[in-house]
A and B are shown apart, each in its own frame.
Chain A
């Protein structure tokens, strides 16, 4: 595991993806999971009118104190990258601190992706990959990687319990779709928490 994120200060997550991948929903579910653990959380989208396929950013702040701040997240503590095609198109790593976390939806390695320069300085275990789209296809039947990435994020950051993530997913997705998303998230969580 990547360790436990420090919550003495606010923890800020920026999510990058493309329209249709559930980027905004992911941030919302993340905030719900944190809320369920008694924390203050604030999720918001990049306020665009983006159509399917366009780059989309969403944000989530988590804190033990009430959150007053309304600016976009400029210096994230963690990045969730839902689509590797964005690595070349958008400055996804902008503002990431030296102790940051990076979670990428891919089966490839840092070297395969050619992002050593951007993430090379991060501490051991802070950059993790999970094939979330594959997991979603297997468990949900649709290429929507957001729930799986949240499962993985819980494991990477140590910030959230898996059962909170599960409840947050079930708030958004009812019935069999909810079950499938929870299974995808569980598979991703276990892939990170219990390395093969």
Chain B
């Protein structure tokens, strides 16, 4: 029945590619086995067109890649649970829905627990073939849903949780979350006073906290490296138990970056070392993705108006340097630069 329905869907909504001078969309120049999920027009199109996300939305992009990969890995036997947030709101404007898979939204802070319930129902009904994905933004994951998330990890419930991290509460109008980086301007950390923007602190590194639960799989990923993102989702789907993927998704509206620069901004975050890409199994980091062309954090910061106060009216050398130290610490900690060839910007 599902097969037919999907076929009908793909006939009604024939997937089209709008590839413009990049190989990112599908790597169709590589051989069939190593092509990305998005390279195939037979992909499930989990979140189909017509949703209400802003131009350049990193979360919409990340969600499509993550869920299409997860659906392919699960042979379309997938159920998604969504926390309240941008993704939930823009994908289901009444009376429409973008979701081409069974999808449920309950509350802001309970997506991991609801997913646990769905997984329990599938287990008790002997539906081992049906897999469960839960997803939410950084607010729903690192703040309000954190207790439920940790509980899900601790019980090792059979759920893949995907966090789309755009580093603030975007749905409510760009307020600070525990994933907001130091110095960033948000509506609740305005760029005023002698220490404009968010405080410098340790923040809350949920991927590392997930790692500390010794769950089967933890990975960070970025919309700047979609092939890596798909590979990690596919790998996670091949495992059982609690799995966590934390995806870096720029928000042009909240960050004050250009809509067409989302991939570029995300790439600079990784290439500067501010957002390291790594994966871990059972509490041990097994791989990190090396920086191909290292950049200074300044190059990243300058793409976004949320950091504009670091450069105008005058350069805030102290705080730019502090952010650079964070990036350098990541590079050292995760061994991100394997060869000594730093390229000047």
Direct contact between A and B judged by beta carbons closer than 8 A: no
Q: A-contacting residues of B (Cβ < 8 Å)?
A: none
